[in-house]
Amino acid sequence: MDACMAFEDVVYHYPDAAGPALNHLTVSVPKGLKTAVLGHNGSGKSTFFLHAVGVLRPQHGRVLLEGAALGYSRKELAALRRSVGLVLQDPEQQLILGTPLEDASFGLRAAGMNEGDIRSRCMEVLEQLGLADLRDQPIHQLSLGQKKRVSLAGVLAMRPELILLDEPTSYLDPLSEVQLLTGLDIARSQGATLVMATHDMNLAYRWADWIIVLDHGACRIAGRPDEIFAAGGTRLPAGLAMPLLADIWYSLPRQYISGRPAPRDSEQMIQRLAELLAENSTPGHSGGNMKSEEEEQD
Partner 1 sequence: MPSGCGRAGANGAEPMLRRIDALSCRNALRPLPPLWKSLFTAVMFILSYMVHPALQLIICLWMMYWCTHHARIPRRAYGLLFGTALFFFALSLPPLLVELGRPADGEAILHLPLSGQLQLYITAEGLCRAGLLLTRVMACLSCSLFLILTTPFGELLQVLHRLRLPQIVLELMLVMYRFLFLLSDTAHGLLLARRLRGGGRRITLRETAGMGGALLAGTMRRYRGFAQGLAVRGYTGEIALPPAEPRVLPRGLALRAGAGILLLLLAQLWLLQA
Q: Which residues of this chain interact with partner 1, rule CB under 8 A?
A: 50, 53, 55, 74, 78, 81-82, 86, 88, 90, 92-99, 102, 105-107, 109-111, 115, 136-138, 140-146, 154, 158, 172-173, 175-176, 179
Give the residue with the Cβ less far from partner 1, 107 or 225: 107
Q: How far is the CB of 98 from partner 1 (least distance, A)?
A: 4
Nearer to partner 1, 39 or 154 (CB): 154
Sign of the alpha-carbon torsion through 207, 213, 214, 215: positive
- Helix ranges (H only) for the chain are 45-52, 74-83, 100-104, 106-110, 115-128, 144-156, 174-189, 201-207, 225-229, 244-251, 254-257, 266-281, 293-297
Q: Rounded to the nearest whole angstrom, what is the least distance from the CB of residue 283 to partner 1 in the complex?
A: 52
Q: Please, which residue, 111 or 278, has the CB nearer to partner 1?
A: 111
By residue count, the chain amounts to 298
Minimum distance from CB of 79 to partner 1 (Å)?
10
| CB nearer partner 1, residue 56 or residue 222 | 56
Element (H, E) at 212: strand 210-215
Task: Provide the minimum distance between the beta carbon of 137 and partner 1 in the complex, in angstroms, as a whole number.
Answer: 7
Backbone angles phi, psi at 139, to 5 degrees: -55, -40
Nearer to partner 1, 143 or 280 (CB): 143
CA distance 30 to 209: 10
Q: To the nearest whole angstrom, how small is the minimum distance from the Cβ of residue 14 to partner 1?
A: 12
